[in-house]
Structure 1
Amino acid sequence: MKKYLLVQQYLIWFLCGILCLLGFFTNAEGPSSLIYRCNDSTYVSSSTYATNLLDFLFSTRDDALTHTFFSSTVGNDPSDRVYGIFMCRGDVNSDVCAECASKSSQDVLNYCSNQKVVFAWYDYCFLRYSNRSFFSDSTSEGENIGGCALNVMNVTEPAKFNQALATTMNEVADRASNDTRQDLKFAVGEANFSTSQSVYSLAQCRPDISSAECSACLRSAISTLPQCCPNSRGCRVGFPSCIIWYELSQFYNISSPPSTKGKKRISKAAAVGIALSTIFSVALFVLTFVILKRRSRKRHVFETQEANNEDESLTINPESLKYSLGAIQTATNNFSINNKIGQGGFGPVYKGTLPNGQDIAVKRLSRSSGQGAEEFKNEIVVVAKLQHRNLVRLLGFCLEGGEKLLIYEFVPNKSLDYFLFDPEKQRLLDWSRRNKIIGGIARGLLYLHEDSRLRIVHRDLKAGNILLDESMNPKIADFGMAKICGVDEFEGNTNRIAGTFGYMAPEYTTSGQFSVKSDVFSFGVVILEIVTGKKNSSFYQSEDSRDLLTYAWEQWRRGTPLALLDPTLNNSCVENEVLKCIHVGLLCIEEDVDRRPMMASVVYMLSGNSVTLPTPHYPVVSLRNTSKSIHEEIESDRSDTKLLVGSVSNSSSIELQPR
């Protein structure tokens, strides 16, 4: 039986390869990683420069329908003038170009709020603006500052791969810099580095610069590859005037004029495919199609596994992430009780100090905890390559002597709930800090959902999993329950519900459906907790307001939303900001998933000064008041109740009772 399944699998993979060559499953979409840079020169939101910038950004949406590249100058006064450029990737059509223009013009302000000089490379377009003219110039200020986004996996034959990569990169750089087409300096190519694998490359420059300047920019980008992404299976390096990009799968449009090799290869593959079609049955074809589609939905673009299913944790995490047990024991004084700084649902957390003086936080998974090898591996895989100022950074791990240890950067001010729900300590959180924390959490979630190399649903966002650094900036932590979705996936299903009472979205607790909107719901709860200083899971005001969510909506409906405000804030708050946060929080906790905003919209609503918000509806009924209908296993997590449900029935409600 095993032999038969193995043969069948080989047949499926072989046919899939032919079908991919024929174009059935060609993935022409790149990963959703954003490369951007902002300088420190800022403008006031109410200034003329801000108005001119908005005029330029809004104009890009219409102009992109008819132009792949355009520059614009907005403003009469040189001191407030905005110089802007927009460019589409050389292989995309006008619809994709316009869609990218719309996205970039909306969310670039979230990444570079109130900053005058910005450039951003999206999947399909490029946006740049400044308070100084940079047109037809690649030597202006900041041209040598770039960024990169890399694949988390490495190639298996680095010597052959790097040789092929150098060949194709130099080739596309030459062709792009010498491209004579109007408004286009663009080229793609490929090179084989094994009998079955090729590396695909792309290079593009701003067409307003000279060929020599384009070549210099591309060579500079290529020279950074060994430092930025050594032996990586995919990488992008973007500068203010050019970009290079390579992958092991074809990510660009094969009908692009420069891609002549691809056309020949497809034509030959078509002939092979026609011959093979007489051998394989229709049933096998359908089976292959279904399997491939399912796998492609589950697989994110920047994490393509080898066919031999090698261990994910070992592949993604280099040796440099491994710590010895002895080193961690020394750092934590052998897990001394005096070094213990917290207790999570899966085990204690200790502070440690490495020999170089660096402070660390060590999450020690207890052997009796619910987090086993899979959850441990999951947390490493998810967090290892995430880089954002509002996410806690994973430094490494240890699997030795029966111990499972995760080593994180040390965040000195403990978690948000430590301050927020303590009558004395919550006074340290004035409104300015609370508003800053709300915005930081929102940007961290946006990165997880849309802008990281992976699309990640956290599934356990709560005040206890928001750590605060020395400046009280928030950092999202604890990714043990996170789920990785494909680049085009926003939701999934599970028969093992994991989360914390009071924060879980209704569709998740009743049917196991999780999505980025599940995190949005949790974020809405956190917003209302931050505003009120009250915990949803233990809130009780009256019979009509069974939890914090319904109480908040009742106050909103009555026109008295400021009654929600934590009394300790006194006069430190800005009324408009408070009202906006409450409004956004109510939109996030909508029972109807479709009515909840995406995090990109949430960030925009929180940062915008003149945004018209939809009217919120009555929120979901508290889980405390629904009937029990599925098996549940509850673990104590600080004063929260953590839920791990073993199976899900077809019923539509559950009841949770904290111990």
Structure 2
Amino acid sequence: MAVFGLLFLAFSSTLLLLLLHFNLNSAQTFIYPICSGVNYTTNSTYQTNLKLLLSSLANNNSPNNTRFFNNTVGRSSDRIYGLLQCRGDMDSEDCKKCARTATNESTTRCPSKTKAIIYYDECWLQYSNESLISRLQFDPTLYLYNENNVTDPNLFTPKLNDLLGSINDQAVSISPNRFATGEDNYTSSQKIYGLVQCTEDISRSDCDRCLRRSISEFPGCCDKRQGARVIKPSCNIRYELYDFYQSQTAAPPPQITSPPNTNTTRGNGRKSSKNVVLIVVPTVIAALVLLSIVAIFFCLRRNKKKFEIIENADEISTVESLQFNFATVEAATDNFSDDNKLGEGGFGAVYKGKLSEEREIAVKRLSRNSGQGLEEFKNEVLLLAKLQHRNLVRLLGFCIEGREKLLIYEFVPNASLDKFIFDPIKRTYLDWERRYKIIGGIARGLLYLHEDSRDRIIHRDLKASNILLDAEMNSKISDFGMARLFVLDQTQGTTSRIVGTYGYMSPEYAMHGHFSVKSDVFSFGVLVLEIITGQKNNSFDSERAEDLLCYVSMTAFSPLFPFLLNL
């Protein structure tokens, strides 16, 4: 338990320094920044032009209810293009507040970068040294989704598709500002709410292309989720099972025949504690997690003889040696009956099965919309089959039959960690000794993936639902559907497709698409806090904070803090 003391001591000291530099209040609901391009030089002409551009976007004198502003400042290589789009249901005052907040915070969120997209719930700001106005942009794309699945996907999916198609047609054909919302009945007591929007500078045909592509990407990223967003520079789509937009339809803006001029905006934005999570907490948690992982890994290396790494137990030479017959798996799971269904995630449902020799297995039936090709699937299977460690769920084989793709794993009887730590009754079984054992097992599994296996693997989706517990409550990392392989001495990768679970993604991955072992380390730190507190990061409910990470930061100096140091 000394690790926890060291962990929280570093956390509190780092937090104190950060709280001295950041105001706990913020005007708007910040989502993510995407920073790219090269660094510009301090006090350069480009920086001066950027300040002029941001000022013009923040201080505009466009007519009331105008929610789109753009401008271009400078010449030649120092020219900079910018636009700001407010959400269609925001009134004039709220739009001005978001414009003011976004322009004020942009250079802090993307310091010294020539390109940036800053997303808030109420608006989004974009600037670049390359022309972007009236230009359709599909990437980079940001995917966010609710961890919980709908109860009846067969009923939900068609209704969602109909709703999104309907409001897409409204935004493209009817709405003067490329914005539409709508709702439809999901069940007798529940509705689906949807929102679509394009930036007002692109044509209606380009808006239609952008929205339709976004809709087509929902099955691959967010299938069966209770809520999700696909956010692109030129358009965004969101749906939820609750009313998240202004119910009163906003008045359409007047027609503008030329680019809007600039003016002054007045008023102070209302403040929210949510930005604490997204500004202060990521930095705090990064320091917290780095210290905890180093401390635990140091202990593991020092005591390496105390645990076993099972590698090369049996060498796999071909993918075919792992292939199961579909009829065998179908019989083992009783034709994938609901009685054998263990759960469902973003990549597919998992079923319990029993082979003829009474060996129990877990079968993951991948979604047909997963987007993974046959060769990619086989390569992933071969990679995972070579990962043999007591703290990783072992892959036994796979099956391909027509459009069906199945992964067969060892059966782990105590299900996933989230079923224990977030259950008010079951979590009483997890005393501090068991929790420490679970944390140590996860750390050992990560150490193997990052350092001790033949290939360095970045998991990219480490969370409580992806940690399984065997009969002795040993933790096993599972679900490698988003894992990435690093070659030789590679230490970092980059992607423009940002996927993952909101609240667990590290800042450098969410902001820049950079992933490395540090990405898993950050997720591990969030997971450690959940195991310690028994509270879920993404659905934390408290009058003092909207998020577990924010709550921990705010209570670090409470009277309970000395008690935590002695755990």
TM-score, normalised with respect to structure 1: 0.43
Larger RCO (alpha carbons 8 Å, 6+ apart): 2
TM-score, normalised with respect to structure 2: 0.49
